[in-house]
Amino acid sequence: MKVKTKSKKVNKAWLHDHLTDPYVKMAQKEGYRARAAYKLKEIDEAFQLIRPGQVVVDLGAAPGAWSQYLRRRFAPKSAGVGGAASGELDGTIIALDLLEFEPIDGVAFIQGDFRDDEVMHQLEAALGGKAVDVVVSDMAPNLSGIASSDSARISHLVELAVDFSTRHLKPEGALVAKVFHGSGYSQLVELFKQTFRVVKPIKPKSSRDKSAETFLVGIGLKRP
């Protein structure tokens, strides 16, 4: 019974935090599917990464808030409520996730596991040989609660995003990847430094204080 009571308290506290969260309220008002849109918005405003006409790949895209933000950046004149679901799109957005994804006008979606070769082939086919300007990755694995195992899963996804970026980004392109402070974090920072000319960590204000998540931004590929 104590476990259930504690669980109810935790759920009630989470629900209260969620419902009173200013970013949740803002997302509802502005038509974003999740508050996560504001994380990418802050990162973009800090580094001026997203511009109309670009090719952007959104990894771990569901439920679609980051793709919505990209959509609005590529069609600023139609950035109304509903995720800028209409209007001329100046740019290419390819989204990928394991989960189902409610369509967004102009966003190409591939459902599958980024770790599978077949899914990677689909993504490369969708690019059609185009070089990518920006890769954004909000990917995170299902966590088991076992620190060493979770750290390895997180690192593997980030390493895949970095590998994809080295093969598909333009020389001056950028990667934004979600990482977590803890075991393996310093190694991921080092991987970014080996791969990109400019590397900056950023913790957006819209990322909850309690969360261990942060984001690494790599700009400009180093060449061997």
CA distance 145 to 133: 35
Shared domain for 11 and 46, answered yes or no, is no
Which domain range does residue 137 map to?
A: 33-221
Residue 100 has pLDDT above 60, yes or no: yes
208-218 tens-digit pLDDT: 877 889 999 99
Q: According to the annotation, is 138 in a ligand binding site? A: yes
In this predicted structure, the answer to whether residue 85 has a pLDDT above a threshold of 50 is no
Say if residues 212 and 181 touch (Cβ distance below 8 Å).
Answer: yes
- For the ranges 74-83, 105-114, 155-164, 192-201, which has the lowest average pLDDT? 74-83
Catalytic positions, please? 178
Residues 26 and 107 occupy one common structural domain: no
14 carries a ligand binding annotation: no
Counted domains in the chain: 2
DSSP 78: G
**Does residue 66 have a known ligand-binding role?**
yes
| 69/91 same-domain check | yes
pLDDT tens digits for 43-64?
999 999 999 999 999 999 999 9
Rounded to 5°, the CA angle 55-134-178 comes to: 140
pTM for the predicted model, two decimal places: 0.86
Please report, rounded to a whole number, the percentage of residues in the chain having pLDDT higher than 90. 66
Same domain, 22 and 94: no
Q: How far apart are CA 23 and CA 34, in angstroms?
A: 9
Are the CB atoms for 64 and 27 separated by under 8 Å?
no
Alpha helices in the chain, H assignment, sequence order? 2-20, 22-30, 37-47, 65-74, 117-127, 147-168, 185-195
